Structure 1
Amino acid sequence: MTVQQTAKEFLKSEPGRDPIIIEGLFRAAPERVFRAFTDPRDVSCWFIPKAGSLEQVEIDLKIGGKWCFVIDKTDEKQIHFEGEYLLIDPPNRLEFSWRHVKEFADGTRETTDTSKVAVTFTAAGKATEVRLSHEAIKTEDARHGVGGGWNGCFERLADFVKEMEHVPGE
């Protein structure tokens, strides 16, 4: 790795193209990596791609159940991602809808069109191959942002899973 190459590249699709494909190999069993996507405590450790944390994580893990990850919250507005679970097949597959939302103190909301995320978890020896496909994002600029965001999240997920190797009972 050269000095300029500091981050691992998980983005496999051409930037700005639909669907966005993110892939990574994580040193944990599929059950553990699946839980990292579905347990609020775990999600709060890796979901934000930059140093920081989520303000709030809500997960109702059932078909039709809602999820909401609050990334910024002030008295004037809240910015979050939200959606519903479409398919839950632990520890193999997870599908959910996705919207980016700005919710203002007066109750008004600005929201993107709904897109779809599908994640597969495949055992690879003592590791798990994760493939994430995020499709139906309307604009190329938004796809660039989402692709970069997921790439950063996978970087943090790799660090999170690595840290879990040293936690008893994990």
Structure 2
Amino acid sequence: MILLNTQSNTNAVVIYNFNISSDKVFEAWIDPEKVKKWMFPKGDIQRVEIDGSVGGSFSFVDLREGKEIDHRGEYIEINRPKRLVFTWGIPKESPDAARVIIDIVSTKTGCELTLTHELHPEWSDFAPQTEQAWRNMLEAMDEVLT
């Protein structure tokens, strides 16, 4: 069981501009075949399972140093193509989970995505690394989608 952190006081925030529609960016978050192409760009993604409905869950398994890391979460809010909220955790390493909020706003040239990863207080020192990891993934998503 993943326990959602409700006492977070540190957020990792990334803003990224895409030159593609908010619909395409949103779908890239919940389409397993697309997620396989951009999630963990420096890793080796093994499996992606997604039940893209409110209350549905996901599992993204990547291989790091010969070890499978299973990132799991549950979808809390889905408002196509504007907002996606989900929990994020690695149950084998900790029962705690963070909350990730994706807000997508259409622009004249495509859309702007704001990702907010609410960090557990124990992980607040990792905000810069968390932001960079998400930025790398969003850049990989951009390459896959354009």
Same fold per superposition (TM over 0.5): yes
Q: 1:131 aligns with which of 92, 114, 132?
A: 114
Cα displacement (A) at 1:142: 3.4
1:6 matched residue in structure 2 = none
Cα distance in 2 between the residues matched to 1:41 and 1:53 = 14
Cα distance in 2 between the residues matched to 1:54 and 1:31 = 24
Q: Does 1:62 align with 2:45?
A: no
Q: TM-score, normalised by structure 2?
A: 0.84
Cα distance in 1 between the residues matched to 2:52 and 2:84 = 10
1:153 matched residue in structure 2 = 137
1:91-114: CA deviations, max 9, x gaps? Answer: 01000001024xxxxxxx322521
Q: What is the SS of the residue equivalent to 1:88? A: strand
Cα displacement (A) at 1:59: 0.5
Contact 2:12–2:119, Cα closer than 8 Å, also in 1: no
2:5 matched residue in structure 1 = none
Cα distance in 1 between the residues matched to 2:45 and 2:17 = 24
Q: What is the SS of the residue equivalent to 1:54? A: strand
Cα displacement (A) at 1:118: 0.4
Contact 2:70–2:90, Cα closer than 8 Å, also in 1: yes
Please tell me the root mean square deviation across aligned C-alpha atoms, in Å.
2.1
Q: Does 1:140 align with 2:131?
A: no
Q: TM-score, normalised by structure 1?
A: 0.73
Contact 2:119–2:127, Cα closer than 8 Å, also in 1: no
Cα distance in 2 between the residues matched to 1:23 and 1:123 = 13
How many percent identity over aligned positions? 29
Larger radius of gyration between Structure 1 and Structure 2? 1
Q: Does 1:113 align with 2:104?
A: no
Which sections of structure 1, spanning at least 5 residues, go unmatched? 1-16, 102-108, 163-170
Which sections of structure 2, spanning at least 5 residues, go unmatched? 1-8
Moved over 6 A (4+): none
Please state which structure has a larger fraction of its residues in strand: 2
The letter for the 2-side match of 1:158 is: D
1:96 matched residue in structure 2 = 86
Cα distance in 1 between the residues matched to 2:76 and 2:44 = 26
